[in-house]
Amino acid sequence: MYLTPLEVQQRLISIGTYTIETAPSLEQLAYVLEGIEERLDIWLGYHPGRKTYIEDYRSSCSGTVTLAKYPVILVRRVEIYNNIDPSYPPVYTTENIMSNWLQGTILKVGYSGWMVKVSYDAGCDPLPKRFQRAAFSLLRKSLETSGLTGDLSFLEEPIRDVSSISVPGISKSFRLGDSKGGKSGGGGGSTLDRELASLQEAGDRRSFIFPRT
Protein backbone atom coordinates (compact mmCIF):
# COMPACT_ATOMS: atom_id res chain seq x y z
CA MET A 1 0.00 0.00 0.00
CA TYR A 2 1.34 3.40 -0.98
CA LEU A 3 -0.86 5.43 1.37
CA THR A 4 -3.53 4.67 3.95
CA PRO A 5 -6.96 6.32 3.68
CA LEU A 6 -6.48 7.91 7.11
CA GLU A 7 -3.19 9.63 6.29
CA VAL A 8 -4.64 10.84 2.97
CA GLN A 9 -7.72 12.22 4.70
CA GLN A 10 -5.60 14.07 7.28
CA ARG A 11 -3.31 15.41 4.58
CA LEU A 12 -6.16 16.73 2.44
CA ILE A 13 -7.55 18.54 5.48
CA SER A 14 -4.16 19.96 6.47
CA ILE A 15 -3.55 21.49 3.03
CA GLY A 16 -7.02 22.98 2.91
CA THR A 17 -8.57 20.84 0.19
CA TYR A 18 -11.33 19.84 2.61
CA THR A 19 -12.47 20.70 6.11
CA ILE A 20 -13.14 18.12 8.79
CA GLU A 21 -16.83 18.37 7.95
CA THR A 22 -16.47 18.06 4.16
CA ALA A 23 -13.64 15.50 3.94
CA PRO A 24 -14.42 12.22 2.12
CA SER A 25 -14.91 9.16 4.29
CA LEU A 26 -12.16 6.58 4.71
CA GLU A 27 -14.21 4.14 2.63
CA GLN A 28 -14.47 6.61 -0.25
CA LEU A 29 -10.75 7.35 -0.18
CA ALA A 30 -9.91 3.64 0.03
CA TYR A 31 -11.92 3.05 -3.15
CA VAL A 32 -10.05 5.75 -5.09
CA LEU A 33 -6.67 4.71 -3.66
CA GLU A 34 -7.21 1.11 -4.77
CA GLY A 35 -7.50 2.20 -8.39
CA ILE A 36 -4.53 4.53 -8.13
CA GLU A 37 -2.33 1.81 -6.64
CA GLU A 38 -3.30 -0.57 -9.45
CA ARG A 39 -2.45 2.04 -12.11
CA LEU A 40 0.87 2.81 -10.43
CA ASP A 41 1.83 -0.87 -10.23
CA ILE A 42 1.02 -1.41 -13.92
CA TRP A 43 2.94 1.70 -14.96
CA LEU A 44 5.98 0.77 -12.86
CA GLY A 45 5.89 -2.91 -13.87
CA TYR A 46 5.94 -4.07 -10.22
CA HIS A 47 4.72 -3.18 -6.74
CA PRO A 48 7.46 -1.22 -4.94
CA GLY A 49 6.23 -1.77 -1.38
CA ARG A 50 6.55 -4.86 0.78
CA LYS A 51 4.16 -7.57 -0.27
CA THR A 52 3.82 -11.34 0.17
CA TYR A 53 3.98 -13.41 -3.02
CA ILE A 54 3.14 -17.08 -3.59
CA GLU A 55 4.63 -18.27 -6.88
CA ASP A 56 5.34 -21.51 -8.74
CA TYR A 57 8.74 -22.29 -10.26
CA ARG A 58 10.67 -25.17 -11.79
CA SER A 59 14.11 -25.53 -10.26
CA SER A 60 17.18 -25.24 -12.47
CA CYS A 61 19.62 -28.04 -13.25
CA SER A 62 21.71 -26.78 -10.34
CA GLY A 63 18.79 -27.12 -7.95
CA THR A 64 18.00 -23.43 -7.50
CA VAL A 65 15.15 -21.06 -8.29
CA THR A 66 15.41 -17.36 -9.05
CA LEU A 67 12.61 -15.43 -7.37
CA ALA A 68 10.85 -12.99 -9.69
CA LYS A 69 10.26 -10.09 -7.29
CA TYR A 70 13.00 -8.08 -5.63
CA PRO A 71 14.44 -6.99 -3.32
CA VAL A 72 13.61 -10.15 -1.37
CA ILE A 73 13.05 -9.48 2.34
CA LEU A 74 12.00 -12.86 3.70
CA VAL A 75 11.40 -16.40 2.41
CA ARG A 76 8.44 -17.79 4.38
CA ARG A 77 7.75 -21.25 2.96
CA VAL A 78 8.96 -23.58 0.23
CA GLU A 79 7.03 -26.56 -1.12
CA ILE A 80 8.90 -29.00 -3.36
CA TYR A 81 6.75 -31.32 -5.51
CA ASN A 82 7.81 -34.79 -6.57
CA ASN A 83 8.89 -34.58 -10.21
CA ILE A 84 8.09 -38.23 -10.91
CA ASP A 85 4.69 -38.28 -9.22
CA PRO A 86 3.19 -34.75 -8.95
CA SER A 87 0.25 -36.14 -6.96
CA TYR A 88 2.63 -37.17 -4.17
CA PRO A 89 2.46 -34.82 -1.16
CA PRO A 90 5.07 -32.06 -1.45
CA VAL A 91 8.14 -31.76 0.70
CA TYR A 92 7.57 -28.81 3.02
CA THR A 93 10.71 -26.89 3.77
CA THR A 94 10.15 -24.67 6.78
CA GLU A 95 13.50 -25.16 8.49
CA ASN A 96 16.89 -23.94 7.29
CA ILE A 97 15.22 -21.74 4.67
CA MET A 98 17.47 -18.85 5.56
CA SER A 99 20.58 -20.98 5.10
CA ASN A 100 19.33 -22.10 1.67
CA TRP A 101 18.38 -18.59 0.65
CA LEU A 102 21.51 -17.21 -0.98
CA GLN A 103 20.28 -13.66 -0.36
CA GLY A 104 19.49 -11.68 -3.50
CA THR A 105 16.81 -13.64 -5.40
CA ILE A 106 18.46 -17.09 -5.45
CA LEU A 107 16.97 -19.92 -3.41
CA LYS A 108 18.65 -23.34 -3.20
CA VAL A 109 16.15 -26.21 -3.09
CA GLY A 110 18.45 -29.14 -3.81
CA TYR A 111 16.27 -30.77 -6.49
CA SER A 112 16.90 -30.38 -10.21
CA GLY A 113 13.91 -29.72 -12.49
CA TRP A 114 11.27 -30.10 -9.79
CA MET A 115 8.19 -27.92 -9.32
CA VAL A 116 8.57 -25.55 -6.39
CA LYS A 117 6.04 -23.25 -4.71
CA VAL A 118 7.59 -20.38 -2.78
CA SER A 119 5.99 -17.93 -0.38
CA TYR A 120 8.13 -14.85 0.22
CA ASP A 121 8.09 -11.14 0.97
CA ALA A 122 9.67 -8.67 -1.44
CA GLY A 123 9.71 -4.92 -1.98
CA CYS A 124 10.90 -1.85 -0.12
CA ASP A 125 10.15 -1.56 3.58
CA PRO A 126 9.63 1.25 4.35
CA LEU A 127 8.36 2.51 1.00
CA PRO A 128 10.47 5.42 -0.29
CA LYS A 129 8.73 8.79 0.04
CA ARG A 130 8.85 9.50 -3.70
CA PHE A 131 6.31 6.72 -4.33
CA GLN A 132 4.00 8.13 -1.68
CA ARG A 133 4.30 11.62 -3.15
CA ALA A 134 3.46 10.25 -6.61
CA ALA A 135 0.40 8.42 -5.28
CA PHE A 136 -0.84 11.51 -3.43
CA SER A 137 -0.34 13.66 -6.53
CA LEU A 138 -2.43 11.22 -8.59
CA LEU A 139 -5.10 11.17 -5.90
CA ARG A 140 -5.38 14.98 -5.87
CA LYS A 141 -5.62 15.10 -9.66
CA SER A 142 -8.25 12.37 -9.59
CA LEU A 143 -10.33 14.29 -7.05
CA GLU A 144 -10.05 17.45 -9.17
CA THR A 145 -10.94 15.63 -12.40
CA SER A 146 -13.49 12.97 -11.50
CA GLY A 147 -14.25 13.48 -7.82
CA LEU A 148 -14.81 10.34 -5.79
CA THR A 149 -16.07 8.26 -8.70
CA GLY A 150 -12.78 6.39 -9.05
CA ASP A 151 -12.78 7.03 -12.81
CA LEU A 152 -9.10 7.22 -13.77
CA SER A 153 -9.55 7.07 -17.55
CA PHE A 154 -8.29 10.65 -17.82
CA LEU A 155 -4.81 9.36 -16.95
CA GLU A 156 -4.61 7.65 -20.35
CA GLU A 157 -5.38 10.82 -22.29
CA PRO A 158 -2.49 11.87 -24.56
CA ILE A 159 -0.48 14.98 -23.83
CA ARG A 160 -0.26 17.46 -26.68
CA ASP A 161 1.66 20.60 -25.79
CA VAL A 162 0.95 23.56 -28.02
CA SER A 163 3.04 26.72 -28.28
CA SER A 164 1.67 29.85 -29.93
CA ILE A 165 3.65 32.63 -31.55
CA SER A 166 1.94 35.90 -32.40
CA VAL A 167 3.40 38.83 -34.38
CA PRO A 168 1.52 41.69 -36.06
CA GLY A 169 -0.66 40.14 -38.75
CA ILE A 170 0.46 36.55 -37.95
CA SER A 171 -0.75 34.05 -35.36
CA LYS A 172 0.59 30.50 -35.52
CA SER A 173 0.41 27.48 -33.20
CA PHE A 174 3.06 24.79 -33.22
CA ARG A 175 2.37 21.31 -31.87
CA LEU A 176 5.32 20.10 -29.79
CA GLY A 177 4.09 16.70 -28.71
CA ASP A 178 1.88 13.89 -29.89
CA SER A 179 0.14 10.90 -28.37
CA LYS A 180 3.17 8.66 -28.58
CA GLY A 181 6.30 8.43 -26.55
CA GLY A 182 6.12 8.87 -22.82
CA LYS A 183 9.23 10.92 -22.25
CA SER A 184 9.27 12.96 -19.11
CA GLY A 185 9.16 16.70 -19.14
CA GLY A 186 8.31 17.52 -22.76
CA GLY A 187 5.30 16.76 -24.89
CA GLY A 188 4.12 13.29 -25.74
CA GLY A 189 2.95 10.33 -23.70
CA SER A 190 -0.13 10.22 -21.49
CA THR A 191 -1.27 12.27 -18.54
CA LEU A 192 -0.06 9.42 -16.33
CA ASP A 193 3.41 9.62 -17.89
CA ARG A 194 3.49 13.34 -17.20
CA GLU A 195 2.34 12.96 -13.60
CA LEU A 196 4.93 10.25 -12.89
CA ALA A 197 7.85 11.93 -14.67
CA SER A 198 9.84 12.10 -11.41
CA LEU A 199 9.71 8.30 -11.03
CA GLN A 200 10.75 7.88 -14.67
CA GLU A 201 13.73 10.17 -14.11
CA ALA A 202 14.67 8.29 -10.93
CA GLY A 203 14.83 5.02 -12.91
CA ASP A 204 12.00 3.41 -10.93
CA ARG A 205 10.08 2.19 -13.97
CA ARG A 206 10.97 -1.33 -15.13
CA SER A 207 10.37 -2.96 -18.50
CA PHE A 208 7.12 -4.87 -18.76
CA ILE A 209 7.56 -8.55 -17.91
CA PHE A 210 5.12 -10.95 -19.50
CA PRO A 211 3.51 -13.34 -16.99
CA ARG A 212 5.26 -16.68 -16.74
CA THR A 213 3.32 -19.69 -17.95
Burial 16-49 (b: 16+ CB within 10 A, else e): eeeeeeebbeeebbbebbebbbebbeebbebbbb
Q: Is the whole model's pTM more than 0.85, yes or no? A: no
* Interval 107-128: pLDDT, tens: 888 888 888 999 999 999 999 9
Instruction: Indicate the pLDDT class of residue 48, thresholds 50, 70 and 90.
Output: very high
Strand intervals (E) in 9-50: none
Q: Is 6 exposed, middle or buried (0-12, 13-18, 19+ CB in 10 A)?
A: exposed
CB 51 within 8 A of CB 207: no
Cα 30 from Cα 213, distance rounded (Å): 32
Cβ atoms within 10 A of the Cβ of 59, count? 21
* Interval 141-193: pLDDT, tens: 999 999 999 999 999 999 865 555 555 665 554 444 444 444 444 445 899 99
Measure the CA dihedral 187/188/191/196, to 10°. Answer: -80
